[in-house]
Amino acid sequence: MADEITFSSMSNQVESEILSGLYLMALADRNALPAHPALFRVPGVGGRGSTTQKIPQIGLMGYDLLASTGDGSAVANSALTDAAGTLATARYSKSYESTDLARLVDAHGVLRPEVMAMDAVVSVASTLLSLHANLVDNFATTVGTSGVDATLENILDAITSLEINKVAGPFLGILHPVQWGDVRKDAALNSGGAIQWNAGSQQMLDAMKGLGYQGNFLGVDFFTSTHVPTANAGADRAGGIFGHGAIAYVLDSIEADPDLPQVSIGGEVLFEKSRTAKSGLTAYVSHAYMGASEQIDLCGVSVITDA
């Protein structure tokens, strides 16, 4: 194994100069996606006999229009339009392993099981966010220009494309902070007062609060994440705006074994302790079973602009 937490590897936490007992968290994107109507959660695969689910797409509820039919004439059958997407559930895990001596001298209590359990919960949420953010660049419909900053026009074009494609709102946008910053700057400097001083735009300008949910702007709930991927050999970032049906995800339920040192947190995070007695090592291991995949391509628009 490698990367065990030992006394020598904790030099920044056990030096005599560290007397306050306080510490700062290293920078990371620790946000979780909100419970939003555009996010389509699918039931888990427990007891289904397969890790992959097929999600039907049915052309009903107004998909086909009625045809003008003469009095007394038989109406022709309409073919029922159907398609399907798939969604696979996979295992995601993480382990922090430390020596007894490292736990003994841990002055900040970061190696306690309750801290590691909280880390497991936050890390699962961040991983699920990463799965979503790495899908919004895949939509066939795109707006923006490579090497050019994101603008209000890009956002308006994306919304229009979704409306043309008959996508139902509300919409969710996941953008990289660079993209959101460019849109915010464009709203503040270049819209001539027509947009930036209405209530929604003012909220956007005031929402300088770091990563995560930024508020509703032009009818879209925007969320920023550093997990948004690059495009065009790293020259651009590829965020996206989408509605319900664009992306499906699963976060499966998992039960703890009562005979083992493990616990199920919220039914979705399996947290356990693994002991290697001969080496004096204790590992805190977290698991989650989840996945995300694109479903109806026209339900989303990729926003590809300068990084």
For 32-41, write each residue's pLDDT tens digit: 888 899 999 9
What is the pLDDT at residue 187? Answer: 85
Q: Which of 88-92, 209-213, 262-266, 275-279 has the lowest mean pLDDT?
A: 209-213
pLDDT-based confidence at 28, cuts 50/70/90? confident
CA distance 136 to 11: 41
For 173-209, write each residue's pLDDT tens digit: 999 999 999 998 888 887 655 554 455 556 655 655 6
Rg (CA), the chain: 24
Q: List, in sequence order, every residue forming a beta bridge with 54; answer none if it has no partner.
A: 86
For 229-275, write each residue's pLDDT tens digit: 999 999 999 999 999 999 999 999 889 999 999 999 999 999 999 99
24 against 11, higher pLDDT: 24
CA distance 267 to 124: 12
What is the pLDDT at residue 196? Answer: 47
For 144-182, write each residue's pLDDT tens digit: 999 999 999 999 999 999 999 999 989 999 999 999 999
Statement: residue 293 has pLDDT above 50: yes
Protein fold of 141-246+297-306: hypothetical protein PF0899 fold (3.30.2320)
- As a 3-state breakdown, the chain gives helix, strand, coil percent values, each rounded to 5, of 25, 30, 45
3-state SS assignment for residue 161: helix
pLDDT-based confidence at 49, cuts 50/70/90? confident
Query: Which pTM does this prediction carry?
Result: 0.84
Amino acid at 118: M
* 198-226 per-residue burial string, b: 16 or more CB within 10 A, e: under 16: eeebeebeebeeebbbbbbbbebbbbbbb
3-state SS assignment for residue 223: strand
Statement: residue 16 has pLDDT above 70: no
Domain layout of the chain by residue ranges: 141-246+297-306
What is the pLDDT at residue 209? Answer: 65
